């Protein structure tokens, strides 16, 4: 959670300039959490694979979002899909 708070604090100047509202605690439940504690190797392997796949997708979304926010907050005119 500390990393989330640090990221949010670092983004505040950009968010304030772009007038974006961030919802607090908008975290979905993950049904596979108990599988990470399983003693069955196949179940555990599947859960880790699922988790890392989700994390990879989430990280890419964050990277794209940060690039978009940086582009909107900057004076660059070569940003893709700029309004």
Write down the pLDDT at residue 81: 61
Residue range 13-61, pLDDT digits in tens? 776 776 666 666 666 677 788 898 889 999 999 999 998 998 898 889 8
Q: What pLDDT is stored for residue 45 in this prediction?
A: 93
**pLDDT beyond 90 at 75:** no
Locate the domains of the chain by residue range.
37-76
pTM, two decimals, is 0.52
Does pLDDT of 79 surpass 80?
Answer: no
> Is it the case that residue 65 has pLDDT exceeding 60?
yes
Dig out the tokens for 25 from the structure: 């605690």
Alpha-carbon distance 70 to 55, whole Å? 22
């Amino acid at each position: 959670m500390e990393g989330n708070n640090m990221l949010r604090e670092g983004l505040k100047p950009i968010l304030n300039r772009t007038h974006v509202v961030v919802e607090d605690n908008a975290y979905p439940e993950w049904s596979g959490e108990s599988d990470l504690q399983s003693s069955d190797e196949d179940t555990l392997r599947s859960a880790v694979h699922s988790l890392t796949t989700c994390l990879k997708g989430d990280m890419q979304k964050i990277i794209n979002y940060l690039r978009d926010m940086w582009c909107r907050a900057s004076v660059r005119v070569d940003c893709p899909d700029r309004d």
